[in-house]
Each structure stands twice: as C-alpha cells, then as structure tokens.
Amino acid sequence: MNPPAVVVTGLGAVSSLGVGVDRHWQQALGGHAGIHPLGLFSTATHRTAIAAEVPDDAVLVPGRNLSRAERFACTAAAEAVRGIPNEVLRSPRAGVFFGSSTGALYEAEQFLRALLQHREGHLAPLAAQQNDGPGTAVARMLAVQGPVVCFSTACTSANVALSAALDALRSGEIDVAVAGGADELCETTYAGFNSLRAVDSRPTRPFRQSRAGLSLGEGAGVLLLETLAHAQKRGATMLCELAAAGLSCDAHHVSAPDPDGAAAAIGNALQAAGLSPDAVTFVNAHGTGTTHNDDAESKAMHAVFGARSSSIPVTSSKSLVGHLLGAAGGIEAVFTVLSIVHRLVPPTAGDEPADPALGLDVVIGEGRALPAQNVGLSTNLAFGGNNAVVLFRSLRP
Amino acid sequence: MKRRDVVVTGIGCIGPWGIGMQELSNALQRAEPLSSPIDRRSHYHRRAGAELLAACGPLELSPWLDAQQARRMSLLSQYAVATARMALQDAGLRTVRSDRTAIALATAFGPGAFTEQLTRQILEKGGKAASPFLFTDCVANAPAGQVAIDLGARGPNVTICQREAGPLLALAHGANEVAAGRADVCLAGAVDEMSELSHAILDRFRALARGRGEVPRPFDRRRRGFLAGEGATILVLEPETDARARGAHLLCRVGPTVRAFDPSAGRASFGTGHELLAATLRERIAGTLCEVDTIVSSASGAVHGDALEARVLRAACPTRTNVLVPKAVHGEYGGGTLATALLALRGAPFGYPPACSEPDEALGIAPTSGFVHARRVLCSALAAGGVAAWSVLEAP
C-alpha cells in the first residue's frame, strides 16, 4: 500500500518583513529586503551593524516569560492553524515538529550578563534555553497530544523537522502536524558568524559576483500539514503537496560546505518523490550570500540538473528576510509553497545581475511566472555538514 | 519498500561510572549515586543551591580518540566521537558504507561549556573577541557532525533536543531511518555535558536535589529533585537481515516507540496528564505492553515527574514487572537508561538504591533489585515541559 499523500493546509510567517503570510508575499514580490541597522543590542563591539530584525511594532503572541523565539514560533503557528478546529489539534493524532538552533540564547545572554555583574537576571524565559523551547511552546499553545520532536541541526533544523513530520504523517501515527522553525537574533551567533568573516556589512547579495556574506535574521516559518484524506474529509483548503524530503551529511568539514553532500540531499529528495531532476521547475535555494555557500550550492545544482541548471529559476529568500538559521527552512518553505500557489517565483532582492560564474538562472528584478504544475525544492545547508531538502509540488488535478 | 526489522548490534557508553558497559553494570549493582561536588568557581550558583553533579571526570578516551583530534573539538564532541567508535567496535564493524550510514543523536543542552565560554568572551571583551573555533563547535549538532566526519558517514544526520525525552526520540528516529531503508547502519543515542551554568540554571528552577549529601531518590517519599549528570550512550542499529547475514551478535531488537505530549505541563515542569499519556501508550502498543517484563523508568527523584511517571506506568502496565531506576545512580542526561535496558536484557544484577529505602506509598511503585533476566523492556522518558516517549527493546 502506498503511503498517504501529505498536503499543506496552512502557513504562518514572522520575520523582519513583519507578521503574516500575505505581508511576506507582497514584500517578496516587490523585492523589499527587511535588512536594517540592528537595534536589539549594541553593535559597537561587533564587526558589522545590520541584521534582519523583527520590527518592534510587530504584533506577536504576548508573554513576558516567553523568549523572543517562542513568541515568533507561537505567532507563526497561530496563523498557520487559523483554519483548523481546535479539537482537531487537541488530539493524540496531532503533533509538532520544530527546529531551532539558538533556543532562547538572547535571553540566556541577558541572564549571564546579569550573573557576571553579580545580579539576578530574568529566569523565566530560560525555561526555553534548550533548543526545544520554541517547538514545545507551540505544542503547549495548541495543546496537541501526539508526538512533539524538536531538532537542532543548525541551519537545516526546520527542514529536518518538516522531513520528520512527513514521516510521522505517512506512517499513520498522526493525521495533522504543525511543523517549522523559529530562531532569534543574539550576540553569540552575531559575533560568531562575524568571527568567521561570514557576515556582509551591507545587505546580503546571494548569487552575485560582489557577494560578501550573509545577513543574520530572526523569526519563524510554520506549516500546517495533513494527510490528504484528512484534509479532504474536513474540507480544508489545500495549497500544495509536501511530496518528499532528502537528508545527507557532507562528512567533510564542520563549517565549510561540500557540493557532493548538497547534491546527495537533492538526489535523495527526488528519489523519495519518484521524480527525475527534469521535473523540478524552481529552487528556493539556501543562498546565504557567502562565497563558499553559493559556490557549493551552484555546483550541487549542476551535479544534479546538468545543463538544465542554467534554466531553472533559482531564488534566495535570505536576500529578503536574512538568514533565520534554525528557522530558515520554515520561512523558505512558506515562500516555496506560496510560489506554487501563485505560480510565481519572487525575486532575489537587489538589482545587481547574477554571478555568471555560477551558471544559474537567478530570478532578479521581477518575479518569474511558473507553469501550471510545479515541483519546487527548498534547500538548506548547515554547520556539521548537514544538508536537508524538502520537495513541494502542485496538487495533482 | 517493506519496513525492515531493526536490531542493536553494538553499544558504546561513557558516563560518571567510567567507560563501558561493565563499569556501568558495576555501578548499578552498587546502586550508590555517582555524585561529586560541582565546580562553583564561576559563582553562578546561589549559596544554598545544589552542590552535586554526576560528572564524567577525566576519562581515558585515547583508545578511541587521539589527542590531535580531541584538540579540535569540544568535550561534548569528544564524548560523541569516542562513544561512536566504541559502539562500532562492539558491533564488529571496522568500516561503514558512507552514504548508507546515518546518525541520530540527542542532546539536552548541546556543547554548553563551549557556548558559555564563547558568550562570556563576547559579553566581557566584545563581539570582535569571539573565537571562530568555539563558535563552529558550539552548535547542538556539532557532535553528530564530528562523528560523521570521523566515520565518513554521509547519510541522514540529525540532532534532537527534547530534554529528558531526547534519547528515546533519537533511538526511534534512527530506527526509522533503518526500517525505512534510508540507511543500513545508524548510530543512535545521546550525548550530554553539564556545564556549570546549565547546572546553576537547573538549580534555580528547583529541579535538582539540593544540599550537600542530598541524593536523588526516585519514587521515594523524601525525593526533592534529580541529580544532573552527563555522558554518552550510542547504539549501532542495523536491519536484522543484514546483521544476521554478517554473523553479528544481536544485543536486542528495537520494538515500537510511542510518542506523546502532555499539554498540562508547564514550561519547566511536569503536568498531570497521566490518564492521557497512559491511554495513548495503551492504544498504540497494548499487545506489546502485556509482554513487557521490565521497565527502565525515567524516575529521577523529581517530585512531580516521578509522580506522573508512577501514575502512567501503573495505568498502562498493570501487570507486575521489574522497575529499574538507573537515574538514582548516574543521574539525568547522557542516555544511560538506554545502556541500562541492554544490561537488563543481558541478565545483569541491579542493586537496590539505599536512597530509595522509603518508597512513596502514594505512588504505588518501587524499584526492583536483583538479577533481571528481561525479555522485553519498556524504556520510559517523561520530559519536563510535557514531552513523553516510550520505547520497547526485546531480546533477539
């Protein structure tokens, strides 16, 4: 018996572009980047001074005792589940699969700073200092009763979570999953990436010749996933299918990406979906804007797609919302689903043409129209040599 | 593809007991907590706070990890790499097929000491002082990545952070990779270190047993909190057909895992949803539960956690079984419960923890001692925050 198809029935997004999927899509189509001078903490002792920070006026789920990442996660999840009755979620047949790479590290920094000054900091947000904090907060808010699993595989965390949710739905363990990721800006990751000279002092320019690094961001991206039968039974609006995922590890270097590993993850996703590389109609790339990542990723695409690499539309959402680390896969999955729904690939922000040496068809300037039936890949590469790819496709007529 | 039966063919473990299964078995037979005073030189702790830790102490890892390798990684990654090699050696696997080897590790706090050191650098000396070496090995998945690099394992590689439930969730994830045919070997388990800061924070949440001489007392009426521990336990998982074909010694078969969530739990506490958890457990594996003869309990001495655990186990497993409480000895974290389950399946002897001499009658459950010749073990894990998991391990 074939495993059940899994469909996307809800989306939620929080980032420097604000709160809400519609807002994100409108901003993305206009190529508006939410990368600005950083206000969350002083950048006086750091090498750079910009980031994609969630704006102060963003309306988030309240909670003085919640970390920023928990509030991002809960806000995005609340949007994603808007269309589903509460009782469907309050069941052992509903689960949460989430990714985060920093947990509540910003709040932990505040706490440690206070300790170093012989003061007591605000303890309550540190209940989420472990990286399961945002995902478990979502589970508690929605009162699910099924599996709750949180992954921390650096920048692939959310894609790994989507992959695990897909498995749980296909195995029959659950009917509904809330899956995605959330992360928050903090000094440790900001200084850490800067120590690697991986942060651009200007807004990131993925796949451009002048690219000089990433822009760090924060926020959350969340998907509501259901088995096709469950979605049909409750009359849900189905956006597209989550058809497969592919994971791999470079086993090469802790922080330098290896094209073979990324190519293997793409190949694994295609194999799991039973598709050939020719089926892919667009790629929402990891596209961090670092020299090494964009080189490795383009080589991986050439290895998988061959000559077609130069004609498959490729975009980088990180040019708009920055690099959300453990949440990157979540927000990029949101953009990938929206591309399928609207049959349009949003542009990679900025006017500069793509680096010809990469040999990719990077969407720049205006959105690119897609055919009626689409297969979209969302790729993430991470520290630890981790690679995770999720494959979405249009609902079959 | 038909799902494959999954077996455990090797295990590596390190912890406050030292290195390997025999040392752990000896410690569980003695049944005394492996605690020692924690280093409080950073002054993170409150004056009246917890003072004990089940620390690994200096371990001789050189048979599995040379000094040059060790210098390039955090202590947590060292634990993971050495334990993974130990597990493969135990499984009789000298090499692994790179693209068919997966890794699934759990860690509650990740490389806490590296993260603390890096954050202090930044807070005290400014962002430009951050060490790139500390940064790249302070992500939670660095240990799994280092294991992959060491072994050349290019298959799926995941790190699960789900507090006390992580080890069983990693086991289940790894077993699923093998069962689904995405990997032919998976190294699955847990790796944890307890930094001074993490210990001080746990203590502020009143999670830890307090006061000098205070010990963890699972299911005891005097219980006041758990003993924080550290270590690593990694299992080698293979398809049963492959393992038998190569003549491997089968340690156990991996049975079903049930995963659930208790939404009544607070962010750092245990809930009251025992009826819900027990019902989920019964509904998913009712037939298997009847045949469970031994429970490796997640009871740690946590006041409310042990109460929830007792209620769930009494409701879900009404038949008389052995109940083991290894956290009375090695403390919380590090995956020692997985190793304990394998010892039970080997027929190992278990001592009665003296600290548990006054079982809480309200809980109706008490630890077992003596030789345990288990055929089917239920490993239980209830995490603060609401996540629960139970895995069945069966004699091959």
B122, A188: Cβ pair inside 8 Å? Answer: yes
Rounded to the nearest angstrom, the minimum Cα separation between A260 and chain B is 10
Best mutation target, A152, A170, A270, to test chain B (most B CBs within 10 A): A152
What pLDDT was estimated at residue B318?
75
Return the HEC string of chain A. CCCCCEEEEEEEEEECCEECHHHHHHHHHCCCCCCEECCCCCCCCCCCCEEECCCCCCCCCCCCCCCHHHHHHHHHHHHHCCCCCHHHHCCCCEEEEEECCCCCHHHHHHHHHHHHCCCCCCCHHHHHCCCCHHHHHHHHHHCCCCCEEEECCHHHHHHHHHHHHHHHHHHCCCCEEEEEEEECCCHHHHHHHHHCCCECCCCCCCCECCCCCECEECEEEEEEEEEHHHHHHCCCCCCEEEEEEEEEECCCCCCCCCHHHHHHHHHHHHHHHCCCHHHCCEEECCCCCCHHHHHHHHHHHHHHHHHHHHHCEEECCHHHHCECHHHHHHHHHHHHHHHHHHCEECCECCCCCECHHHCCEECECCCEECCCCCEEEEEEEEHHHEEEEEEEECCCC
Rounded to the nearest angstrom, the minimum Cα separation between A287 and chain B is 19
Within 8 A of B257 by CB-CB distance, chain A residues are none
Rounded to the nearest angstrom, the minimum Cα separation between A98 and chain B is 10
- Across the interface, of A111, A132, A146, the residue whose CB is closest to B260 is A146
A31 touches chain B (CB under 8 A): no
Q: Over range A188-200, report the average pLDDT.
A: 97
Q: Is the dihedral of CA A110, A112, A118, A122 positive or negative?
A: positive
A112, B122: Cβ pair inside 8 Å? Answer: no
- Cα B157 to Cα A226: distance, rounded to the nearest angstrom: 25
Q: Binning pLDDT at 50, 70 and 90, where does residue A361 land?
A: very high
**Kind plus residue range of the DSSP H or E element containing B389:** strand B387-394
- Cα B240 to Cα B367: distance, rounded to the nearest angstrom: 33
Rounded to the nearest angstrom, the minimum Cα separation between B49 and chain A is 14
Residue pair B340/B331 in contact (Cβ under 8 Å)? The answer is no
- Across the interface, of A113, A130, A154, the residue whose CB is closest to B139 is A154
Average predicted confidence (pLDDT) for chain A: 96
- Chain A CA closest to residue B384: A127
Torsion of CA B67, B73, B78, B80, to 10 degrees: -150
Please say if the pLDDT value at position B214 is more than 90. Answer: no
Q: Catalogue all structural domains in chain A, each as residue range(s) with its CATH number.
A: 6-233 (3.40.47.10), 244-393 (3.40.47.10)
pLDDT digits (tens, 9 = 90+) for B105-126: 999 999 999 999 999 999 999 9
A 286-325 near B (Cβ less than 8 A): none
Average predicted confidence (pLDDT) for chain B: 95
Rounded to the nearest angstrom, the minimum Cα separation between A1 and chain B is 10
Q: Over range A115-133, report the average pLDDT.
A: 88
- Chain A CA closest to residue B202: A127
What pLDDT was estimated at residue B112?
93
B261, A129: Cβ pair inside 8 Å? Answer: no
Cα maximum dimension of chain B: 61
Q: Catalogue all structural domains in chain B, each as residue range(s) with its CATH number.
A: 6-252 (3.40.47.10), 255-394 (3.40.47.10)
Please say if the pLDDT value at position A254 is more than 90. Answer: no
Rounded to the nearest angstrom, the minimum Cα separation between B63 and chain A is 22
pLDDT digits (tens, 9 = 90+) for A208-241: 999 999 999 999 999 999 999 999 999 999 999 9
Pairing of the two strands B294-296 and B349-350? unpaired
Determine how many CB atoms are found less than 10 A away from the CB of residue A5: 18
- Chain B CA closest to residue A46: B127
Cα maximum dimension of chain A: 64
A115, B44: Cβ pair inside 8 Å? Answer: yes
Percent of all residues in chain A with a pLDDT value above 90, rounded to a whole number: 94
A255 touches chain B (CB under 8 A): yes
B126, A173: Cβ pair inside 8 Å? Answer: no
Please say if the pLDDT value at position A129 is more than 80. Answer: no
A82 touches chain B (CB under 8 A): no
Q: Which amino acid is at B276?
A: L
Rounded to the nearest angstrom, the minimum Cα separation between A246 and chain B is 8
Best mutation target, B119, B193, B282, to test chain A (most A CBs within 10 A): B119
What pLDDT was estimated at residue B94?
87
Q: Binning pLDDT at 50, 70 and 90, where does residue A314 land?
A: very high
Q: Over range A274-294, report the average pLDDT.
A: 97
Q: Over range A63-69, report the average pLDDT.
A: 92
Please say if the pLDDT value at position B17 is more than 80. Answer: yes
- Across the interface, of B132, B145, B154, the residue whose CB is closest to A196 is B132
- Cα B275 to Cα A35: distance, rounded to the nearest angstrom: 49
Please say if the pLDDT value at position A130 is more than 90. Answer: no
Please say if the pLDDT value at position B210 is more than 90. Answer: no
A147, B260: Cβ pair inside 8 Å? Answer: yes
A122 touches chain B (CB under 8 A): no
What pLDDT was estimated at residue B212?
63
A391 touches chain B (CB under 8 A): no
- Across the interface, of B134, B135, B386, the residue whose CB is closest to A136 is B386
B109, A130: Cβ pair inside 8 Å? Answer: yes
Residues of A with active-site annotation: 155, 286, 323
- Chain B CA closest to residue A191: B127
pTM value is 0.98
B261, A248: Cβ pair inside 8 Å? Answer: no
Within 8 A of B141 by CB-CB distance, chain A residues are 152-154, 382-384, 386
Rounded to the nearest angstrom, the minimum Cα separation between B244 and chain A is 26
B173, A149: Cβ pair inside 8 Å? Answer: yes
Determine how many CB atoms are found less than 10 A away from the CB of residue A44: 8
Q: Over range A38-60, report the average pLDDT.
A: 96
Please count the residue pairs, one from chain A and one from chain B, whose beta carbons lie less than 8 angstroms apart: 247
What pLDDT was estimated at residue A367?
97
Residue pair A25/A11 in contact (Cβ under 8 Å)? The answer is no
Residue pair A4/A227 in contact (Cβ under 8 Å)? The answer is yes
A137, B267: Cβ pair inside 8 Å? Answer: yes
A379 touches chain B (CB under 8 A): no
A256 touches chain B (CB under 8 A): no
Take residue A252 and report the two structure tokens written for it. 């090469």
A90, B118: Cβ pair inside 8 Å? Answer: no
Judged by average pLDDT, the poorest of A126-135, A244-253, B128-137 is A126-135
Rounded to the nearest angstrom, the minimum Cα separation between A103 and chain B is 10
Judged by average pLDDT, the poorest of A169-173, A320-324, B163-167, B206-210 is B206-210
Q: Binning pLDDT at 50, 70 and 90, where does residue B147 land?
A: very high
Determine how many CB atoms are found less than 10 A away from the CB of residue B143: 32
Q: Binning pLDDT at 50, 70 and 90, where does residue A1 land?
A: low
- Across the interface, of A127, A153, A250, the residue whose CB is closest to B267 is A127
ipTM of predicted complex = 0.97
Q: Which amino acid is at B202?
A: L
Q: Is B284 left (phi over 0), alpha (psi -120 to 50) or beta?
A: alpha
What pLDDT was estimated at residue A281?
98
- Chain B CA closest to residue A107: B119
Place of tokens 């049944």: B31
A146 touches chain B (CB under 8 A): yes
Within 8 A of B182 by CB-CB distance, chain A residues are 247, 268
Determine how many CB atoms are found less than 10 A away from the CB of residue A59: 10
- Across the interface, of B108, B141, B261, the residue whose CB is closest to A144 is B261
Determine how many CB atoms are found less than 10 A away from the CB of residue A306: 11
- Across the interface, of B116, B157, B262, the residue whose CB is closest to A386 is B157
Within 8 A of B156 by CB-CB distance, chain A residues are 247-249
What pLDDT was estimated at residue A125?
85
